[in-house]
Structure 1
Amino acid sequence: MLTFVALLVLMAFSGAVYWAARRRAGVIARGSSTPINSRPGHHGAYAAVWTAAPAALVLLLVGFFGDRVEESLVEARLPAVVRAMDAAERQIFLDDAISLARGQARSETLYAPEVQAALEASAAEVKVLEGRLHLFSLAAAAALALAGAVWGLSRIQAAFRAREGVERWIKGLLLACSVTAVFTTVGIVASLVWESWRFFQAVPLQAFLFGLEWDPQSAMYADQVVSEGAFGAIPLFAGTFLIMLIAMLVAAPVGLFAAIYLSEYASPRTRGLVKPLLEVLAGVPTVVYGFFAALTVGPLFRAGFNAIGAQLVGGPFNDLGL
């Protein structure tokens, strides 16, 4: 919440810097005998970007990684009685300490008296660290915002290429977005490969490809005879092909008739309205439609058929034993 408020204040301050820089650049442009290199809006954007970007980066970094930093610092100072716990118990202890420091509900774990004392001490330490971290982030963001504003306003001159400076910031932002997308894809592929390798260490490949039963829940119960689980993929493949066949039987005639209508019978006005809508719908990933059907259409159908069933049970079919 504090980070969000700080970002709002930073946006307001950068907006004020933008208008101040734009006004100053306009005054210089009107008073200069030579044409100004960049428009006043470019000078305002240059000053606003230098004001907002470094400070916002600090706030976002603290917002994303502040909890991990606090947890690492607290974990490094844990007493010996807590260090003797295994990893899972120690993680629960840290989560309880953070929750206790923030006034949130903690787990129902019962601790020994010495561990309870360590928990209260760790919670107090989390409070102190959290306050210092927030103070540091706000001070650093304020200092960077003021320095950026002074820098941007001082660069306003008739010969300064403010437009190129703004474009460099935009190029850097686009480069960061593209690199993030690439690393996200690499991370997804690496995660899939790693988890698949672990899976096939426990389940033979031929059992997965040619097995006739899919019941992974049975692997959760070690005291049952079927504790190895059933990981045959044939039912998954068959279900996928069945759904694909049903979807094609429904979508192929509708799509074909819609294409024939738009190309042969629709008026230019109707075609100009419907064709972009269909292109937008075609560009939406099918998984989005699947989620929409599962979360919205499915419950509506279930409620409707349940209502019909209740009426049949209490209606004239009840005398027939139906």
Structure 2
Amino acid sequence: MRESGVQCLTSGQLHHMAYTEWGDPANPRVLLCVHGLTRNGRDFDELARALSRDYRVICPDVAGRGQSDWLANKNDYAVQVYVQHMLILLARLDVAQVDWLGTSMGGLIGMGLAALPDTPIRRLILNDVGPVLSAPALSRIGEYVGRAPLFASVEAAEQYLREVGPGFGKLSDDQWRALTVSGLRRDADGWRMRYDPAIGEVMRASPLKTDMLLWPMYDAIRAPTLVLRGVDSDLLTHTTAEAMSQRGPRAHIVEIAETGHAPMLMCAGQIEIVRNFLLEAPESSDPV
């Protein structure tokens, strides 16, 4: 694993966007893995390690998360801004084409980029997200984002993460600890979550009264698409996933058992689903 970064310009502010890189830097086959709303690129460590023989894997920390700088204008925490940041990253990497794996928010960024004419995205994986965003699910998420307490210990932070992230699925104790440690920053008084709390404030400032519909964006996608859905997900319903298989890119759907929002892609079975789609395009859609 190598750590690097790129400088972006947003609303007149220069800011650093960090990323980790795995595999041969000369490999022309590039996979971009983009995390969810309050997470960071280290979520993909196990997947990136497993795919690093086949891919140059890039895992950015979206602005305001992980090792990346927080944005001065909090209204810039928006998908359309993140799409611009990712294009800057691709220019920094000097690659013309990528495969994309996006969890939740990372999937929305991927959809936004994949829908554009002459997109650089060759293959697209949407991890528990689609063109219908459930208003109740977003409200649930908005209730806790940016409101995490100050933690006296890593153990206390891990307990909190387990409470707010039951949808991550069946993870080992080591995996829960890894997700906790990568998502924390130390300050003088204890431990805090490693993201800008203003992300939650932006969400709560404009609450959705009805579901958000993004079908025109999805229908414009032409890249082969895989949709992963946690069977118990409240953000991506089974009905929406089925519709995604019938229109636009006619996505291949795989449902992950004993998981909600969102599968963390840390176990061998889930990683194999990703590998097979990227390299072999599997046909089975049976629950894992």
The structure in which a higher percent of residues are strand is: 2
TM-score range, shorter chain: under 0.3
Choose 1 or 2 for highest CA Rg: 1
The structure in which a higher percent of residues are helix is: 1
What TM-score do you get using the length of structure 1 for normalisation?
Answer: 0.17
What TM-score do you get using the length of structure 2 for normalisation?
Answer: 0.18
